[in-house]
């Protein structure tokens, strides 16, 4: 039951929803948890992936990272494109924007950024 917290994958997580069995919900995977301190988990990707907040995604090969839907609540996630990686693509969800413009963007290596949900006008910044 809330409030509960756990240290998992290098970060402290706060439980957002009461659960009958907390072992069925994994921090960083389930929306039941939110990072409240420590480092975000780093997830290497080389296949198309949909991002979840409070996680850093490291492109290790060509693929598309699709952002969560914009809600204007300031959620964040990280993006890293390792040196030598080509074909890294960032895609906002649906008609959402990235820095005020629509559509997918190719990311040249090396690249590192933390993206913040700023709301519908500018999207991910």
The β-bridge relationship of strands 97-98 and 49-50 is unpaired
- Looking at residue 80, its pLDDT comes to 98
Within 13 Å and on the Cβ side, how many CA atoms surround 57? Answer: 27
- Please give the pLDDT value at position 7: 86
Write out residues in the chain with pLDDT < 70, as ranges.
Answer: none
Quick one: tokens of 54? 């409070």
C-alpha distances out from residue 33 to 5, 30, 67, 71, 102, Å: 9, 6, 18, 17, 29
pLDDT at 97: 97
């Amino acid at each position: 039951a809330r409030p509960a917290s756990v240290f998992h994958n290098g970060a402290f997580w706060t439980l957002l929803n009461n659960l009958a069995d907390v072992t069925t919900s994994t921090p960083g995977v389930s929306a039941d948890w939110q990072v409240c301190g420590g480092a975000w988990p780093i997830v290497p990707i080389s296949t198309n992936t949909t991002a979840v907040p409070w996680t850093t995604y490291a492109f290790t090969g060509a693929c598309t990272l699709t952002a969560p839907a914009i809600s204007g609540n300031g959620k964040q996630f990280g993006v890293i494109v390792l040196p030598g990686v080509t074909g890294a693509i960032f895609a906002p969800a649906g008609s959402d924007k990235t820095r005020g413009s629509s559509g997918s963007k190719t990311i040249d290596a090396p690249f590192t950024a933390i993206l913040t949900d700023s709301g519908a006008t500018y999207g991910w910044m």
